[in-house]
Amino acid sequence: MIDPLESQLGYQLRRASAVMMSELGTVMAAIGLRPTEATILILINANPGCTQSNLSRQLAIKRANMVPLMAGLMRRGLVARERMDGRSHALTLTQAGEALLAEVQVLVNAHEARFLAHVAPDRIEALEAALKAIRNAV
């Protein structure tokens, strides 16, 4: 089959991203997390005391969509929150959350390494720079 999409950057980006996301989904399912939930744990750990709105802006997830995500993480005892100023809450990882984050980091690092192994080392810097440029193009 002739495929003109092979030479389209946007399409190739979409397919490459889908491959990595799907694989990450499988990997994360082993510890009961979805990729998005894992990114939330990573961000709270790096920014203890941050709010849901902070996360939502950083991850480009609408505030409304953060609600069920956070509820799930709190229900599972991975994240705790404490009232800050009446309308916002400071988020932190619980001990269980920190323990799970350690597993997340191992899995994510292995996942990244697995894919980067297929990219020529002298192209990795260009790949990362190009992705940032595309993200900031708008």
Partner DNA sequence: TATTGTTATACTCTATAACTATA
Partner DNA sequence: TATAGTTATAGAGTATAACAATA
Binding site for a copy of itself (CB under 8 A): 1-5, 8-21, 23-24, 39, 42-43, 46-47, 50, 54, 58, 60, 108, 111-112, 114-120, 122-124, 126-138
Q: Which of 5, 67, 106, 129 is close enough to bind DNA by CB under 7 A?
A: 67
132 binds, among a copy of itself, DNA, none (CB under 5 to 8 A by kind): a copy of itself
65-95 as b/e, with b when 16 or more CB fall inside 10 Å? ebeebbeebeeeebbbbeeeeeeebebbbee
Q: Which of 70, 73, 78, 104 is close enough to bind DNA by CB under 7 A?
A: 70
Nearer to DNA, 21 or 129 (CB): 21
Range 109-115 contact pairs with CB under 8 angstroms and sequence separation of 24 or more: 110/27, 111/20, 111/23, 111/24, 111/27, 115/20, 115/23
Nearer to a copy of itself, 64 or 133 (CB): 133
* Least distance between DNA and beta carbon 64 (Å): 3
